[in-house]
Structure 1
Amino acid sequence: MTDLTLNCRRLFLRNHTVDVRIGAHDFEKLGPQRIIFNVELFVPYSASTPTQDDLAEVVDYDFIREVIARRVAQGHIVLQETLCDDLMRALIAHPQVQAVRLSSCKPDVYPDCEAVGVEIFQTKSPT
């Protein structure tokens, strides 16, 4: 086991479905596509244990949703890789977040598979 799994709280957003203007192919540029996001934030246990049972003491799940919504609102994205990299930069920048696992997938592109997608994992660089 790594220090992240031993000493961190893992917050997650599962199967968050958003209509996104994304794609490199002409047919993908005709309108938004469903994208399913899965996000895990690793926050040090010592920095994420509330003492007052107060939302201000933890990383709010709304933070994840807002990061996704802000990026999607910026307009058409050609590649899922670009989308995930942009989201990763915003998520890992949170002062309490030490690592992020993020995936996006397009469930409607090919009829012969469940989805196509990208997953990335990044830890915060020591300062």
Structure 2
Amino acid sequence: MAEFTTILEGLEVQMQLGIHPHEAVPQRVRLTVEMTVDYPAAPHHDAIDEVLDYDFIRTGIRALAEARGFALQETLVEAVAALCLEDKRVRRVRVRSMKPDVYPDAAVGCEIVRGR
């Protein structure tokens, strides 16, 4: 068994996220995803079909951002975690969202860890 951590860090999307009137328009959201992935063995052929292709999570997050708005960051990170866990090789996922433009002096965010 081989365990790897696949990381997608700092993906920025424009999306509707929030409960305040000024958040009714899309805003910048930054997401980081860390997936603990189990493989039967370490990759030997240096080929993408031996490992998790992380394009699926980037594409999935962009699709979520375009398809709908979220009131809560907690709901957003849960949706991203569920997307990651659709791949049976993903044993554990950590998802962090940050809204960097809400306050002039701080970003606000949410982070969860989910596993099987």
TM-score by length of 1: 0.84
Q: Is the 8 A contact 1:22 1:76 kept in 2?
A: yes
Residue of structure 1 equivalent to 2:16: 21
Distance 2:66 2:14 in 1: 10
Among residues 103, 108, 111, which one is paired with 2:96 in the alignment?
A: 103
Give a deviation string over 1:63-96, Cα, whole Å, max 9, x none: 1201201211222211111111111111112111
Q: Which amino acid aligns with 2:6?
A: L
Residue of structure 2 equivalent to 1:123: 115
Matches within 5 A, 1:1-127: 8-29=3-24, 31-44=25-38, 46-47=39-40, 49-113=42-106, 115-124=107-116
TM-aligned CA distance change 1:99 to 1:28, over 3 Å: same
Q: Is the 8 A contact 2:57 2:83 kept in 1?
A: no
TM-aligned CA distance change 1:65 to 1:48, over 3 Å: farther
Distance 1:22 1:74 in 2: 12
Distance 1:48 1:91 in 2: 21
Q: Which runs of 5+ in 2 are unaligned?
A: none
1:8 offset after TM fit, Å? 2.1
Supply the RMSD in Å over aligned alpha carbons.
1.4
Question: Residue 96 of structure 2: SS of its match in structure 1?
Answer: strand
Question: Residue 90 of structure 2: SS of its match in structure 1?
Answer: coil
Aligned residues between the structures: 115
Choose between structure 1 and 2: higher strand proportion. 2
Q: Which runs of 5+ in 1 are unaligned?
A: 1-6
Distance 1:40 1:67 in 2: 15
Q: Percent identity?
A: 37
User: Runs in 1 of length 4+ with deviation above 6 angstroms?
Assistant: none
Question: Residue 98 of structure 1: SS of its match in structure 2?
Answer: strand
Give a deviation string over 1:34-65, Cα, whole Å, max 9, x none: 10101001012x44622221101101120120
